[in-house]
């Protein structure tokens, strides 16, 4: 099947996020050396803590059941991991296949593509496209702002001129709340 069918195999889950590592300025590439183990460790932590920056990772969040730290990690419905650069075909990606990253009902949640070709001048570069709980935080922010604007009747007259009613807008807010609830239940 297609990549979209793999990542969005359930009709209730259609939000995708993108995370990449390493995140290095082009000027610094000549002075930087990376290994696949390091890059994939950063990327996996970005995935489980729902961070877009490798510099602000919370390394205290673990997914192993024996961890004394009991923080919730971000679950994924499906992931597509892309590795580009030197020795990409030999990189160890089993940490992304860990069943604890996925809900129990997810079947074949990880797809991997590797290429020896460089990406954007990076000797090694990894990206993960994920259908995960990472979309919850931005959706909540947008929904809260939309509710605030709606409560103040900001721009409502524009929508009414286009045929949308208060009920239509409340229905749309409800749909977003349902999506957030479904992702929260992963």
> pLDDT tens for residues 66-84?
444 445 688 999 999 999 9
Across the beta sheet with 110-115, what order do the strands follow?
A: 17-21, 124-132, 76-85, 110-115
Predicted confidence at residue 16, as pLDDT, reads 95
pLDDT at 114 over 50: yes
Predicted confidence at residue 88, as pLDDT, reads 96
Q: Is the dihedral of CA 101, 102, 107, 112 positive or negative?
A: negative
């Amino acid at each position: 099947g297609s990549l979209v069918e793999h990542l969005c195999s359930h009709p209730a889950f259609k939000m995708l996020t993108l995370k990449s590592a390493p995140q290095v300025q082009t000027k610094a590439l000549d002075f930087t050396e990376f290994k696949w183990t390091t890059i994939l460790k950063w990327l996996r932590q970005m995935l489980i803590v729902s961070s877009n920056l490798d510099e602000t990772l919370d390394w205290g969040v673990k997914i192993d059941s024996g961890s004394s730290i009991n923080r919730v990690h971000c679950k994924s419905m499906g992931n597509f991991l892309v590795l580009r650069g030197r020795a990409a075909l030999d990189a160890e990606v089993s940490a992304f296949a860990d069943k604890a990253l996925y809900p129990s009902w997810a079947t074949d949640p990880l797809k991997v593509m590797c290429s020896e070709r460089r990406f954007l001048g990076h000797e090694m570069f990894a990206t993960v496209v994920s259908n995960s709980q990472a979309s919850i935080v931005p959706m909540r922010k947008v929904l809260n702002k939309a509710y605030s604007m709606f409560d103040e009747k900001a721009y409502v007259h524009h929508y009414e001129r286009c045929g949308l009613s208060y009920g239509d807008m409340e229905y749309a807010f409800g749909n977003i709340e349902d999506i957030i609830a479904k992702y929260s239940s992963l």
